[in-house]
Structure 1
Amino acid sequence: MTQKAPEKAPKKAHEKPRRPLTLRDVSEASGVSEMTVSRVLRNRGDVSDATRVKVLEAAKSLGYVPNQIAGALASNRVNLVAVIIPSLSNMVFPEVLTGISEVLDETPLQPVVGVTNYDPEREEKVLFEMLSWRPSGIIIAGLEHSEASQTMLEAAGIPVVEIMDTDGRPIDSMVGISHRRAGREMANAIWKAGYRNIGFLGTKMPLDHRARKRFEGFTEALAKHGLEIRDKEFYSGGSSLLKGREMTEAILKRTPDLDFLYYSNDMIGAGGLLYCLDNGIDVPGQLGLAGFNGVELLDGLPRRLATMDAGRVEIGRAAAQIIADRVSGEGAEPGVTIELTPRIQIGDTLGRRHVWPIPQE
Structure 2
Amino acid sequence: MKTSKSRKDSRSAGTVTMNDVAEHAGVSAQTVSRVVSNSPLVTEKTRRRVQEVIKNLRYIPNDAARSLASATSRVVAVVIPTLSSSAFSAEIKSVIDTLEAQRISVIIGNTEYSQEREEAIVQSLLERRPMGVILTGLQHSAHVRSLLQQSGVPVIETWDTDGDPIDMAVGFSNLTAGYDVGKLLCARGAKRIAFVGGAREQDSRAQSRYLGLCRAVEEAGLPDALRVELQMPMSASDGVKGLDLVLQQEPMTDAIFFSADTMAIPAILECNRRGIRVPEQLAICGFGDYELAGLVTPSLTTVRTKPDEMGTAAARMLLARLNGEEETSNKIVLTHQLVRRGSA
Common fold, TM-score beyond 0.5?
yes
Tell me which residue corresponds to 2:77. Answer: 82
Tell me which residue corresponds to 2:4. Answer: none
Tell me which residue corresponds to 2:118. Answer: 123
Asked if 1:345 is matched to 2:335, the reply is no
Q: Is the 8 A contact 2:247 2:253 kept in 1?
A: yes
Matches within 5 A, 1:16-31: 16-18=11-13, 20-30=15-25
Of residues 235, 247, 253, the one that matches 2:242 is 247
Asked if 1:67 is matched to 2:62, the reply is yes
1: CA distance between counterparts of 2:76 and 2:248? 48
Tell me which residue corresponds to 1:169. Answer: 164
1: CA distance between counterparts of 2:199 and 2:189? 28
Q: Is the 8 A contact 2:112 2:233 kept in 1?
A: no
Tell me which residue corresponds to 1:271. Answer: 266
- Normalising by structure 2, report the TM-score: 0.90
Secondary structure in structure 1 of the residue aligned to 2:271: helix
Q: Highest relative contact order (Cα 8 Å, sep 6+), 1 or 2? A: 1
How many positions carry a matched residue from both structures?
Answer: 338
Secondary structure in structure 1 of the residue aligned to 2:218: helix
Instruction: Give CA-to-partner distance per residue, 1:185-224, whole Å, 9 cap, x none.
Output: 1100111111112222221111101101111111122011
Q: Is the 8 A contact 1:230 1:258 kept in 2?
A: no
Structure 2 residue runs of 5 or longer lacking an equivalent are: 1-7
Q: CA deviation at 1:17?
A: 2.7
Of residues 228, 235, 247, the one that matches 1:233 is 228
Instruction: Give CA-to-partner distance per residue, 1:319-357, whole Å, 9 cap, x none.
Output: 111111111223436x6111112210012111xxxxxxx
- Normalising by structure 1, report the TM-score: 0.86
Q: CA deviation at 1:245?
A: 2.2
Structure 1 residue runs of 5 or longer lacking an equivalent are: 1-12, 351-361
Q: Is the 8 A contact 1:100 1:317 kept in 2?
A: yes
Query: Percent of aligned pairs with the same residue?
Result: 34
Select the structure that is richer in helix. Answer: 2
* Structure 1 range deviating more: 76-85 or 233-242: 233-242
Secondary structure in structure 1 of the residue aligned to 2:12: coil
Q: Is the 8 A contact 1:240 1:271 kept in 2?
A: no
Of residues 141, 145, 155, the one that matches 2:150 is 155
Superposed CA RMSD in Å reads 2.4
Q: Is the 8 A contact 2:264 2:286 kept in 1?
A: yes
Instruction: Give CA-to-partner distance per residue, 1:46-101, whole Å, 9 cap, x none.
Output: 54545433432332343322122322334311111111111112332112112212
Q: Is the 8 A contact 1:90 1:239 kept in 2?
A: no
Q: CA deviation at 1:250?
A: 4.2
Tell me which residue corresponds to 2:330. Answer: 336
2: CA distance between counterparts of 1:234 and 1:39? 54
1: CA distance between counterparts of 2:68 and 2:169? 29
Tell me which residue corresponds to 1:316. Answer: 311
Q: 1:320 to 1:278 in 2, by over 3 A?
A: same
* Structure 1 range deviating more: 57-66 or 197-206: 57-66
